[in-house]
Every structure is written in structure tokens, then in C-alpha cells.
Amino acid sequence: MDAEKNIKVLLDANTQSILLLENDGTVIHVNRIVADILKTTPESLTGKNIFDYLPPELAAYRKHMFDNVVKSGEPIKFQDTREGRIILHSHYPIIENDKVSRVAIYAEDITEVINKERELAHSKHLQSVLYEIICQFNSAKDLNELMQSIHEIMLKELKAKNFFIALIDQEQEELVFTYCVDEGISEYPPIQNIFDPDNNRISLLPIKNNEIVQLTRQEIIKSVEHGSLEVMGRIPEIWIGVPMRVRNTPIGVLVIQDYENSDIFCEEDIQLFSACSHQIALAIERKKYDLAIRESEEQYRALFENNHSVMLIINPQTGKILDANTAATEFYGYSHTELQAKNIFDINVLSRAEVISNMSEAHKADRTNFIFQHRCKNGDIKDVEVFSGPFNHNGKTLLISIIHDITKRLKNEKELSAAKESAIRANKTKDEFLANISHEIRTPLNGVMGMLQVMNSAKLNQEHRNCISVALQSSRNLLRVLDDILDLSKVEMGTLDLFEDKFSLNKLLEESINLFKPQAEKKEVDLSYSIFPETESYYFGDEGRIRQILFNLIGNSIKFTDHGEIRVEARAGPGTCQDKNNLHFTVSDTGIGIPEDYQERIFDSFTQVDGSLSRRYKGAGLGLAIVKRLIELMEGSIKIESSLHHGTTISFTISLRIADPPEPNQNKKSDSMIETPILHILLVEDEPVNRMMARKLLERMGHKVTCAENGAHCLEILSEGVFDTILMDIQMPIMDGLEATRTIRTSNSFINVRDIPIIALSAHANKESRYSALEAGVNGYLCKPFEMKDLEKIIAGTAHRD
């Protein structure tokens, strides 16, 4: 009893929710945290079903996850939301007599962690934008250049094509549109009588309300019809205005609007726009001050003294602090007089020589921002970011430094950097692991598929031939899953690169359709393609990845269509520049369709419409996830339209450069016309099974074969015999295939066979390995496991090369 009591005390002291349940959800024990959340006691919950205490929807979802653990015997983790809080659940099955008898559950509220991460990312992005505004303030020669730079920042961050800045002229009681770029109207005249309460012009709303104003087209029309609002020019789909204030006084308004898309600005965009307004207002006011500083010392003092940023005026020759604003006295803890009696060397922790060097850079405007540590009066050392630059004051060039406390930011950045480094190391380890696993799987799979193809070319009865066909197809399916996993991993780690080359659109579609024709005919489904008129025939792009996209989409349509038709269409639309087209592809079928609630998730990794153990259609749920990511890498987009039991249409658009058609070659023969002579082939392969398999395949083709076990053995045999072609494995002991190839191509010992065709064989499926082999001097590259027809084709191609 004491032990049980001690365990209970220990569980109740834990800050997580802890539950121990029977495999039907009956409570064995819960700690005090769970009971408090459910507004009851642990004792009253004992023996009750925990799911009876939850809201129906939440209970159903958690019961589903709980049952999965009971059924599978595997632990799981998942997140859900209750009353606005994000909860992380960990379920651990307790197995007795080979079945799950109880389940231990740990639940933790991670809302604050998630929110903190979001706030940190948002804060860092905001600081970056604010820093860019400050930089533009420092570099702009005049007010117009500053406003144009601010527009460029808003265009980049918010896609705000239509943007204007209007400033209040207090003397004339006007709102003057100082900067305006708008598709709807070329010029906005000043708004007069702005302090008249009956003035209903839309641009005055943010100033009057002292808050951001967001209006849709319908809201504007309604207000105009009621006479409560006046609008000049076209009515936009969305209008957002934010007041600009300095020292709590309105100085004008910032407005962004769009005439085409009411949803162009998301909530985060609006928050960023609002957050930037103060810094923009400060930048505009500071620039106006810089331009008028020679005329009004009083204006200069007002801006300097009341600025919220820490500011110092420094003599760049001596480092003496000539002036400091109120924010500076509050930051450093010195009085204004004390600061003016100090030198910059007194507060900067760097050596005197380093400070002098930095002041010199700032004085010459070679560098405007620095990160230092400054010492305060109480001895505290603070990390600061200093924006410093020269300005003319009464004929003397001085330095003005704007100082921001970044102590917390640097601490957060350090933590994020450590986390990023850890993630990079983990990704590198994962990448190397997957590459090795790929090689280790492909090598034996090459032997399996090769020997099956050898057997398939022998005289067999129909039953044996059918068995071999099934085994071959299963091997190809395994290879496809392996390729999908590697592709998805590369995309997620950002290591998948696209390679641009010229390709024929018609040939690409024709080959894609022909590959699936036998499957379609077997199911009596009509499979066809068409290319719209006026569509260019040749493009520059990654043909292999586009082919992969089409294979996935057509393959899915074949899988889920039992009758009717599958149609592939391609058409070109105008691109972003003259030599580009937006190429639109559509794959439509009359298959089973996709339920509406799955259409948003169908592109997620490992997602299938039917994920049950009894599902009819097989697959890993990776194809469409890879398709979406490949299209995004090509800066394209994809959408899906589907109706359950009526079919699916998937459309995607990518932007490609138009290519010129190749020069016609009357003498060029097709692959089917090329006859490959009987060759004496030197096969270099260290793995015995793959060596035996490749030898048998080559001999079935009619070729004479001599084998070598590594690169050194290859060079020894090559120096003694005469060969027509070399099949060279890449990864081998003693001497690898790349080193052997380079020796053949460059060594004087092999000058007589320097041009012999060399075909690389490799279990590495990445393009980097292919390029390394081509740079070493091979004429062709074949990835294991390979098909017999591909081996024949590449041998024929190298045998007939010019």
C-alpha cells in the first residue's frame, strides 16, 4: 500500500496528464492533473470509461487513436486541440499474453511552445523587414526615393502592386498623396478639409478611427450607397489602410489595395503591414528631418529627443559623445550630462583600435551597421545593433548612431542556430543512410531481376513464364517504392536539384501513354492524349521529373479506373516573359473519384483515401506528395477536381523556356533500325551474383564476355586482350570503376584503346553519381537494377556512336 501511495504521489506531482486505461478505455488510474481538467476527482474516474467525459467529436477522435494502439500494439504520438489548447498525446501499450491489456497515456499542453515558436519566427521576420526599412532610410537620397524603396519592400513582402502614402499637411488641412502607384487611377488630388467631421473620403478612415481599416468591395459599395463613404476611381476588391503615427500624432496614412483578388492579403500580411507602419512613419519623418535639418535646428531636436530608438551623436575623429536622446539616457542609465562627458570608448567593450576602425568605416559610409556589446552604468553588458552613418551638422561631418538592444534576439538566434545545426547533421546522416540503403538494396535486387530476365528468355512453359512475370513486376514495384522514398527524402531535405535540357513535348507524352497502354487495354479503358494547337513542340526543362509527374498521375488514373476513359491534355499559355510558356497539363479519368474531405489531404505524404488493412487499392501514399513537391520546385501549381464515383481531373501548370526544334538529320536511323553486331565485352563487376547475371544476359544477346573482378583486374585484362566495349561497375574494392575509367582515358599505357566505349553500371541512382561517371569519361550510364532491353539499347547506342 505504501508503494502504491508513493506512486500516486509521484504521478500527481507530474505536470503532465497521466492515465492508465484498460484496453476498452476504462480508467485504472489518472493523476490529479487529469481530474482537475475534467473537474472531478481521480477516485470518481476510476472504473469509468474516460471517453464518456469528453465532447463527442473529441471523444470519437481520441477513441479512434486509442483503438489503433490496442489493435496494433504500437505506441503512437499525435496532437489535437481542446478549448483552443494544443495537446500532445503519447500512447504506450502494455502487452500481456501477446495482446494489449492496458494503455499508458501521457498528455502535455504544448500550446505555449508552439505559440512561442510562431511568435519568434514572426518577430524575426518583422525585425528583418524593419531593418530593411532602416537601411533604405539610410541610403535614400530624398523622400521620394525612400517612399519608392518602401513600396518595393511592400511589393516583395505583400505583393502590394497598388500602394500609396498620403501625408497630412497641418497648415493647409489637407491629405496630400505624396507617393502613389495605382492601377485604378493615375493621380490622386489632395483631400481638403480633412478635419471636417462630415468628410467621408475613404483615405481618412484609418486616421479618424486611429486603427487599421480593411474593407471588401461589397462593403465599400454598400457604404457608398448609404452615403457614409466617398471613393475616387475604381472600387478595389480589397482596400487596407493603416494610420501612420509618430509620438502618438497622426502624420498620414498607408494604403494597399487590389483590383483582382480579395484574398491576396492574408492575416499575417495585414499584421506585418500594420507593424511596419510605425517604422515607415519614423523613416519618413526622419528623412524629412534630414532634408530640413539645415533650416530648422528645432525640428531636429524634436525628432532626436523624442525618438523611441537609442540615438547618439558622435565626433568621428575623437569618439566623444556630443549628444544623446532620452531613450539613450534610459538605456545606459546615465544622465544626459554624464553621457555628454563620456567617450564612445567608455561604453563599447571593444579595444580602442577596433572602435576607431569601426568609426572610420561608418564615417566613410563603407559600412552602416554593426553588432557590439555596450556597457551600462550599472555594469550590465548588453548586445546592441548599431546603425551608424555620417551627417552634416553646421558644416561638420558627425556620426549619428541608432542603437537597438538585441540581447534577447541574439540569445534566441543562438538557440535556433544550434537547433538548425543539429537538424543539418541529422539530415546529412539521414541522406547518407538512405543513399547506402539504396545501394545495398539495388545491388541484390539487380541480381534478382537480372536472373529473372535470364530465365524469362529461356524456353519455359506458360506457368513458369507467368511466375517469372509476376516476380519481375513485384521487383519493379519494390524499386518504385524505393525511388519514391529517396525522392521524398531529398525534397524534404532540400537536396533535390532540377536539371534543364531540351526535350520534345510530343515524344514525352507519347512515351508516357505507350508505357501504360497495355495496362489500360487489359482493363478495357480508353487511354489517349492531345496537344492543343499553337503549343510549342520543344522546351527546356527537367524532362525526367516531368515524366515522373505524368507517370504518377497516369498510373493513379489507371489504378482507380475500371471502365470509361483516361485523357491527358497539354496546352500552352502566356508565360512571365517572351521566351517562356506556362505549360498546362490535365489528366482526367472516369474512375472512382475522391471524397471531398480527402481532396485537401491527398497530396500529403503517406496519405491514401482508404488506409485500412482491407483496402482494395495498394500503394505507399507517396506518389502525389512527390508530384506536388516537384511541381512546387518548378515554381508551378497543381489543383484537383473530383466527384465520388464520377472521376477525377488533376491539372498542373509549370513555366518552361521555349526551345528551337532540332536540325533535321536525314541520315539518322531510329533505334529499331540499328543492328548491334556481336561484340567482345569486358564485364567488370565485383559482386559474384551480379557478375554471373550480367554475363548470362550478355551471352543471351549473343555477345562474347570476359569478366574482371575490379578496376585493377580490368586494366590487366585490357592490356592483354582486344575488346569492343567495357561494362564497368562503379563501386568496387582495390580500384573503383571511375579510377579505372580515368586511367584508360588518360594513361599512355592504354593509348590504343583510349576511345573504347565504356558503360558505367551503378547502384547509385542519383544524378550526381551519373555526372561523376560522365566526367571520368564513360560513354553511358546504367542504373541497377536494369532491364534487359535497356542494356541492349545502351550497348547498341555506344556501339554505333560517331
Question: What CATH class is the domain 140-289?
Answer: alpha beta
- Res. 85: pLDDT tops 90: no
Task: From 44, 58, 57, 47, select the one nearest 20 (Cα to Cα).
Answer: 47
Share of the chain above pLDDT 90, in %: 29
Closest by CA position to 726, among listed 669, 779, 773, 656: 779
Q: Contact, 792 vs 701, CB < 8 A?
A: yes
How much is the mean pLDDT over the chain?
84
DSSP state, residue 527: E
Q: How far apart are the first and last CA of the chain?
A: 90
Distance CA 725, CA 705 (A): 10
Higher-confidence position of 436 and 359: 359
Phi-psi region of 642 (alpha: psi -120 to 50; beta: other; left: phi over 0): beta
Predicted pLDDT at 296: 58
Residue 723 has pLDDT above 90, yes or no: yes
In angstroms, the CA 564 to CA 646 distance is 10
Q: How far apart are CA 277 and CA 634, in angstroms?
A: 35
Cβ atoms 54, 40 nearer than 8 A:
no
Residue 335 confidence class, pLDDT cut points 50, 70, 90: very high
C-alpha cell at 193: 478639409
Neighbours of 118 (CB within 10 A): 11
Other Cβ atoms closer than 10 A to 696: 18
Q: Could you state, in order of their start, the residue ranges of all structural domains in the chain?
A: 1-113, 140-289, 305-409, 497-658, 680-799
Per-residue pLDDT at 709 exceeds 90:
yes
Do the first three CATH levels of 1-113 and 497-658 match, i.e. the same topology? no
- Whole-number Å distance between alpha carbons of 91 and 103: 7
CA-nearest of 477, 473, 535 to 508 is 535
List CB contacts of 563: < 8 A, sequence separation 6 or more: 523, 524, 525, 590
User: CA-CA distance, 163 to 180, in Å (whole number)?
Assistant: 6
Q: Give yes or no for residue 314 having a pLDDT over 60.
A: yes
In tens, the pLDDT along 219-235 reads 999 999 998 999 988 89
Split at pLDDT 50, 70, 90, the class of 672 is very low
Dihedral of the alpha carbons of 457, 463, 467, 470, in degrees to the nearest 10:
90
Mean pLDDT value across residues 427-438 = 69
Can you say how many angstroms the Cα of residue 179 is from the centroid of all Cα atoms in its chain?
A: 35
Q: Which fold has domain 680-799?
A: Rossmann fold (3.40.50)
* pLDDT at position 43 over 80: yes
> SS3 of 788, please?
helix
Going by pLDDT thresholds of 50, 70 and 90, the confidence category of residue 653 is: very high
- CATH number, domain 1-113: 3.30.450.20
CATH code reported for the domain at 305-409: 3.30.450.20
Q: What percent of the chain has pLDDT over 70?
A: 88
Angle (deg, nearest 10), helices 143-158 and 111-139: 150
Among the listed ranges 144-148, 473-477, 641-645, 775-779, which one has the minimum average pLDDT value? 473-477
Whether 722 has a pLDDT exceeding 60, the answer reads yes
Residue type, 390: P
Q: What is the pLDDT of residues 368-426, one digit of tens each?
A: 788 888 999 999 999 988 888 888 777 788 888 888 888 888 888 888 888 888 877 77
Mean pLDDT of 194-217: 91
Assigned superfamily of 497-658: Histidine kinase-like ATPase, C-terminal domain (3.30.565.10)
pLDDT given at position 10: 57
Q: Please, which residues have CB within 8 angstroms of residue 765's CB and are 6 or more apart in sequence?
A: 438, 442, 483, 486, 783
